[in-house]
Chain A
Amino acid sequence: MKKELTRRKPFMSHAGGLFFVLPSIITVIIFVYGMIAWTFNVSLTNKNSVSVKKLEYVGIKNYTDLIHDERFTHSLSNLVKFTVVFMLGTLITGFIMALLLERGIKGEGFFRSFYLYPMAISFIAMGTVFNWLLNSARGKEAGGLNLALQKIGLGFLQNDWYVSEKGAMYSMAIPAVWQMSGYVLALFLAGFRGIPDDMREAARVDGATEIQIYRHVLFPQLTPTLLTVLIILGHVSMKIFDLIIGINGKSYVTQVVAVYMWESTFDQHNYAKGTAIAVVLLIMVAVVVVPYLRYTNKQEAYR
């Protein structure tokens, strides 16, 4: 009797656990993987407008068309510009802030949440605010950031921001950097805290200077954190949509891939093209995220 119970218990808890996660497994299968499959399926058809009567499979035609679609390449190059400035900007500001807080200054808790707060704001709300802040008017008409720059005597830095032809996407990255750098700060700070104090002590005993300690002892330990940060920023950046819409609507000059996908699908009713863009976007994000997931899974298993 007793033996039977002990034998059955692991099975029961196993089945019970499965039973509890089953609803989420089913919904994820349908609404994530099922929808991905459906999207991919549509992207292979000729459903290029609402007036298509006979659905046919056209292979990868919609994908090859994208290569020659000037608007797609435009949105892709916009996305690359945005991603580079956003990732570098966030990484550098976040890291510097983490360095400053890492020394255990007074009121660290306050600063930590102070810098993390922008993350609590949704991209769309922030887009609306930065739509005003990044106003391109100068001189007497100036408002927002341009006015602030004037007031602090940095008037020469006044800019056209997202209205300028060349720099539009770079200025779009400013609000994103502002929002996400606090998050990077938190991640790096956690990274620093994860390093045992003994290591610093040992280095000091060996006669290393503070700079050497950072350079050779602490920074190498932060590599996994850096990887995490890059992955998170990378996929946030590639999927960027709401911030762009919030600041500049669907204007051509700042269109990114996700915005063009929306326009193709819901404005042009070109479902095949829209889904093809969606699949390309998914692959781009997957290229970034999947190796990372495999890496962390291995790490977990190793532990």
Chain B
Amino acid sequence: MHKSSFRLVAAAAAIALAVTGCSSGSDSANKDTKFEIFTWWSSGGEAAGLQGMIDVYTAQNPNTEFINAAVAGGAGVNAKAVLTSRLEANDPPDSFQAHAGMELDGYVKTGKLEDLTSLYASEGWDKVFPADLIKTLTVDGKIYSVPVNIHRANVLWWNPATATKAGITAAPATLDEFFADLEKFKKAGVTGLALAGKGDWAIAHLLDWMLLASMGADKFEGLYKGTTSWTGPEVAAGIKNFQKALSYGNKGAGNLDWPDAGKLVTSGKAGFFIMGDWASAQWQSDGLKLGTDYTFAAAPGTVGTYQWLSDSFTLPVGAQHRDGAIAWLKVCGSLEGQDAFNPKKGSIAVRTDSDLTKYDDYLKSAAADWSKDRLVGSTVHGVNGNNALMAAYNAAVGKYFSGGAKDNAGLATGLAAAYEAGKA
């Protein structure tokens, strides 16, 4: 807490400095002497990856001083609050980090962001980024952010030793196989599914996958276009599966954050874990080995579908150092920039032409899926709905889960209300 308030002061000081910097009107070359970005990547692999991109930037723009206004705090909770107040005060940083997709919706509607479509054409990103992704990023024919990385949300993790003990030889590809395997874990005296209830989002993450697995990609996307009803039979069936999966969960999940739940799996106390692929990065930094300590597969029922989320950078209207920001966005979308960032962050490049030799085995496999799978956005991580939708979605799931996972109809109503809240 103290640290972040210190950062806030530092950021404020940085803005004061930045205001005095000059801004040039030239359109091609970057003549800005200063440039400020706003991120929540302040530690670990994220910060290392960011530094990699900053190195690329400073090599290309030697005359621009790079100011990194990082605000610490899990998944950007604190950073988002600070950013909100700065945007409200019309004092935007030159570029800020946000999840790609609907999370930016509010800023787009109020005209706080510049249209970057021309940059996509001039840099050739419209050809190297997957078409499904471009389609999701486009709002009324315009694109407002440049994604730097891709994480996968629908990944199943388990410990090979635990699976062998329970007599499971292959990854479950369908929900039926998944439930059969959960039963095997139970018989072997192991908790079937690791759950993390703290802050509600990891349970919501599980539901997001389960809805996708239960109804398929088209119907799932229909939920956010208004063509699939939240109170219809598809969602009801999905929630029923969700309820069944939760019944195999560990006790006291409410105490656990996702790294704690992940430890249950790697230490052999729990069988399966559905979590985004940042889990792999975390475990590798803990010194665990892919293949022996943990292994992965596409989450059951969603094989051939890539549920993605992405961090992206934007160009706010009224940025003090617009040229510096455009130069930064070019680095964000470039092969060099993405390959400098992603291997350290533990995510794959958005570009389909990245140099896979720089990536570990999990990421190689993810990158192969990325260029051939059906792409679907993640709800809990900002692709399908805006902040209001996510907050209400998490709360509805939290209410259901803390209430003992009994009120299926109530959850469906809560999710429907969350979807409505997102429209406002």
Whether the Cβ atoms of A136 and B254 lie closer than 8 Å is yes
Q: Is B106 an interface residue (CB 8 A)?
A: yes
Whether the Cβ atoms of A165 and B391 lie closer than 8 Å is no
B252 to A, closest residue via Cβ: A136
Q: Given A48-B424, A49-B388, A268-B392 in contact, is the A252-B107 Cβ separation under 8 Å?
A: no
Q: Is B52 an interface residue (CB 8 A)?
A: no
How long is the Cα–Cα vector from A266 to B388 in the complex, in angstroms? 10
A168 CB to closest chain B CB (Å) equals 7
The residue among B112, B388, B390, B421 with the most chain A CB atoms within 10 A of its own CB is B388
Whether the Cβ atoms of B387 and A267 lie closer than 8 Å is yes
With beta carbons under 8 angstroms apart, the residue of A53, A131, A163, A268 that contacts B391 is A268
Whether the Cβ atoms of B391 and A253 lie closer than 8 Å is no
* Contacting residues, chain B, for A71 (C-beta < 8 A): 395
B252 CB to closest chain A CB (Å) equals 4
How long is the Cα–Cα vector from A251 to B201 in the complex, in angstroms? 9
Interface size on B, residues (CB 8 A): 35
Whether the Cβ atoms of A163 and B252 lie closer than 8 Å is yes
* Contacting residues, chain A, for B112 (C-beta < 8 A): 50
* Contacting residues, chain B, for A251 (C-beta < 8 A): 197-200, 254, 398, 402
Q: Given A165-B403, A251-B398, A263-B391 in contact, is the A160-B252 Cβ separation under 8 Å?
A: yes
How long is the Cα–Cα vector from A131 to B403 in the complex, in angstroms? 20
Q: Is A270 an interface residue (CB 8 A)?
A: yes
Whether the Cβ atoms of A269 and B84 lie closer than 8 Å is yes
Whether the Cβ atoms of A250 and B199 lie closer than 8 Å is yes
How long is the Cα–Cα vector from A131 to B421 in the complex, in angstroms? 32
How long is the Cα–Cα vector from A71 to B197 in the complex, in angstroms? 18
Q: Is A249 an interface residue (CB 8 A)?
A: yes
Whether the Cβ atoms of B106 and A49 lie closer than 8 Å is yes
Whether the Cβ atoms of A165 and B404 lie closer than 8 Å is yes
The residue among B197, B200, B254 with the most chain A CB atoms within 10 A of its own CB is B254
A144 to B, closest residue via Cβ: B255
Q: Given A51-B109, A71-B395, A252-B395 in contact, is the A269-B255 Cβ separation under 8 Å?
A: no
Q: Is A66 an interface residue (CB 8 A)?
A: no
* Contacting residues, chain A, for B394 (C-beta < 8 A): 252
Whether the Cβ atoms of B402 and A266 lie closer than 8 Å is no
How long is the Cα–Cα vector from A48 to B206 in the complex, in angstroms? 29
Q: Given A51-B110, A136-B251 in contact, is the A252-B402 Cβ separation under 8 Å?
A: yes
Q: Is B364 an interface residue (CB 8 A)?
A: no
Whether the Cβ atoms of B388 and A269 lie closer than 8 Å is yes
Whether the Cβ atoms of A50 and B107 lie closer than 8 Å is yes
How long is the Cα–Cα vector from A113 to B89 in the complex, in angstroms? 46
Q: Given A51-B109, A252-B398 in contact, is the A267-B390 Cβ separation under 8 Å?
A: yes
Interface string of A47-64 (1 = CB under 8 A from B): 011111100000000000
Interface string of A229-270 (1 = CB under 8 A from B): 000000000000000000011111101000000011011111
Whether the Cβ atoms of A50 and B109 lie closer than 8 Å is yes
List B376-424 residues whose CB lies under 8 Å from chain A.
386-388, 390-392, 394-395, 397-399, 402-404, 421, 424
Q: Given A251-B402, A252-B399 in contact, is the A266-B81 Cβ separation under 8 Å?
A: yes
Q: Given A50-B110, A163-B197 in contact, is the A268-B81 Cβ separation under 8 Å?
A: no
Q: Is B339 an interface residue (CB 8 A)?
A: no
B402 to A, closest residue via Cβ: A253
How long is the Cα–Cα vector from A31 to B267 in the complex, in angstroms? 52
With beta carbons under 8 angstroms apart, the residue of A48, A49, A249, A268 that contacts B198 is A249
Interface string of A115-146 (1 = CB under 8 A from B): 00000000010000001001111000100000
Q: Is B13 an interface residue (CB 8 A)?
A: no
Q: Given A249-B199, A251-B198 in contact, is the A124-B1 Cβ separation under 8 Å?
A: yes
Q: Is B36 an interface residue (CB 8 A)?
A: no
With beta carbons under 8 angstroms apart, the residue of A53, A136, A252 that contacts B255 is A136
Interface size on A, residues (CB 8 A): 34
The residue among A50, A53, A137, A248 with the most chain B CB atoms within 10 A of its own CB is A50
Q: Is A162 an interface residue (CB 8 A)?
A: yes
List B175-231 residues whose CB lies under 8 Å from chain A.
197-200
Whether the Cβ atoms of B388 and A268 lie closer than 8 Å is yes
Q: Is B240 an interface residue (CB 8 A)?
A: no
Whether the Cβ atoms of A266 and B80 lie closer than 8 Å is yes
* Contacting residues, chain B, for A165 (C-beta < 8 A): 402-404
B104 to A, closest residue via Cβ: A50
* Contacting residues, chain A, for B395 (C-beta < 8 A): 71, 252, 255, 263
* Contacting residues, chain B, for A134 (C-beta < 8 A): 255
List A36-79 residues whose CB lies under 8 Å from chain B.
48-53, 71, 74
How long is the Cα–Cα vector from A230 to B402 in the complex, in angstroms? 32
* Contacting residues, chain B, for A168 (C-beta < 8 A): 402
* Contacting residues, chain A, for B387 (C-beta < 8 A): 267-269
How long is the Cα–Cα vector from A136 to B260 in the complex, in angstroms? 14
Please name 23 pairs of A and B residues whose Cβ atoms are closer than 8 Å in the assembled complex, sorted by A: A48-B424, A51-B106, A134-B255, A135-B255, A136-B254, A137-B252, A163-B197, A163-B252, A165-B402, A248-B199, A249-B198, A250-B199, A251-B199, A251-B200, A251-B398, A251-B402, A252-B200, A263-B395, A264-B391, A268-B388, A268-B391, A268-B392, A270-B388
B residues lining the A interface (CB < 8 Å): 1, 80-81, 84, 105-107, 109-110, 112, 197-200, 251-255, 386-388, 390-392, 394-395, 397-399, 402-404, 421, 424
15 additional A-B pairs beyond A137-B251, A248-B198, A267-B388, beta carbons within 8 Å, are A51-B424, A53-B109, A74-B399, A124-B1, A135-B255, A136-B254, A162-B254, A163-B254, A250-B199, A251-B198, A251-B402, A252-B398, A252-B402, A253-B399, A266-B80
A residues lining the B interface (CB < 8 Å): 48-53, 71, 74, 124, 131, 134-137, 141, 160, 162-163, 165, 168, 248-253, 255, 263-264, 266-270
The 10 closest A-B pairs by CB, nearest first: A252-B398, A50-B106, A163-B254, A253-B402, A51-B109, A136-B252, A249-B199, A266-B81, A268-B388, A267-B391
